[in-house]
Amino acid sequence: MTILHADDSTIHRAARALADGHLVAFPTETVYGLGADGLNPQAAQRIFEVKGRPADHPVILHVASVMAAKSLTLNWSAAADRLTQEFWPGPLTLILKRAANVPDIVTGGQDTVGVRMPSHPVAIQLLTEFAKVGSGVVAAPSANRFGAVSPTRAADVAASIGDRLSEHDLILDGGSCDVGVESTIVDLSGSQPRLLRPGGIARQAIERVLGQSFEANHADVPRVSGSLESHYAPNARALLVLPEEMDKIVRQELLGNPSSRIWCLMISDSASTEIQKRRHKMPADPVGYAHGLYAVLNDADRQGVEMILIESPPQTPEWEAVNDRLKRASAV
């Protein structure tokens, strides 16, 4: 495994590595992806081995154009046109019926496929270069061990899966990801559009473009690994806490275990000295909060933190993606 600073020459080398069937972890605007040639089943198979991901969990195909996305799907709709015109390149994944050229391993055996055109310049350049020397289609889940917190920095990728990569696999370092939470996933394969995962683009923005609201019914949602309760979870015990309860919970924990390593992720200030010693200031706006969230969770894991107390953010629509990830991080 080699970490390379992303530039013209290393991106070119990474595109060749993909064409040769190797893995390339690369930055997107949401989180780092663990990429393989999406049309090469043996290469895509290695993603599952490295992540420890169950074989029936589908992965997203990344492409550099709407045309490439159309070639991987059937029944491209007017809604798909409107959404991609508005939000691509960017943090939106569309689920559509799969075309025959998409390998089973990518779809987890389902008849649908997830496609996304990322906006990160390194991702786009990698996809464009890979289209010259290979398929141009990159299957990529988040570049972390299955169930763990997604990486937003190259060092997080190395810490999570570095020891499982081969000498031919690469990590492209493109700095820290802007958005910080995964893409929004919209399923357009059925009769009505459905929101499968809140993410980088707010539900309301998508509803505005679609001209309709998503139905509340999630009963027949297909397999989405992100919809498992305990996902995106740090090793530490994470708890969502009201600000006024924070001090009490810190003291309780310290009573049972005086040397317990506790971090308090807080938006608000606190007069408590026990909290102040452990406080990690989080941004008060949802965009800034999302950008920094996984970094602080990954830092906590690397530093052996035992308990993460997270002040509950507001329960308003702009916070939906952050609240979704916090709920999963703290699910037991």
| Residue ranges binding ligand TXA (CB under 6 A) | 28, 30-31, 33, 57-60, 91, 93, 95, 107, 110, 112-114, 116, 140-142, 182-183, 185, 196, 222-226
Structure tokens at 181: 């939470």
Give 277: exposed, middle or buried? Use CB within 10 Å, 0-12, 13-18, 19+. Answer: exposed
Residue spans of beta strands (DSSP E) within the chain: 2-5, 24-27, 32-37, 60-62, 73-74, 92-98, 112-116, 138-139, 170-173, 184-187, 194-197, 237-241, 262-266, 279-281, 307-311
Report the partner that residue 110 touches, choosing among ligand TXA, Mg ion, none (CB closer than 5 to 8 A by kind). ligand TXA
Report the partner that residue 107 touches, choosing among Mg ion, ligand TXA, none (CB closer than 5 to 8 A by kind). ligand TXA
Q: Give yes or no for a contact between 6 and 172, defined as CB atoms under 8 angstroms apart.
A: yes
Report the partner that residue 38 touches, choosing among ligand TXA, Mg ion, none (CB closer than 5 to 8 A by kind). none
Nearer to Mg ion, 142 or 330 (CB): 142
Give yes or no for residue 323 binding Mg ion (CB under 5 A): no
Nearer to ligand TXA, 45 or 260 (CB): 45
Among residue numbers 133 through 162, which ones bind Mg ion (CB under 5 A)?
142
Cβ 215 to ligand TXA shortest distance, Å: 16
Give me Rg for the CA atoms of the chain: 20
Q: Is 211 helix (H, G, I), strand (E, B) or coil?
A: coil
Report the partner that residue 222 touches, choosing among Mg ion, ligand TXA, none (CB closer than 5 to 8 A by kind). ligand TXA
Report the partner that residue 44 touches, choosing among Mg ion, ligand TXA, none (CB closer than 5 to 8 A by kind). none
Nearer to ligand TXA, 61 or 210 (CB): 61
Nearer to Mg ion, 171 or 275 (CB): 171
Nearer to Mg ion, 142 or 184 (CB): 142
Nearer to ligand TXA, 58 or 174 (CB): 58
Cβ 306 to ligand TXA shortest distance, Å: 26
Give 299: exposed, middle or buried? Use CB within 10 Å, 0-12, 13-18, 19+. Answer: middle
Cβ 200 to ligand TXA shortest distance, Å: 7
Give 215: exposed, middle or buried? Use CB within 10 Å, 0-12, 13-18, 19+. Answer: exposed
Task: For residues 137 and 274, give the distance between their C-alpha atoms in angstroms, rounded to a whole number.
Answer: 51
- Interface positions with Mg ion (CB under 5 A): 142
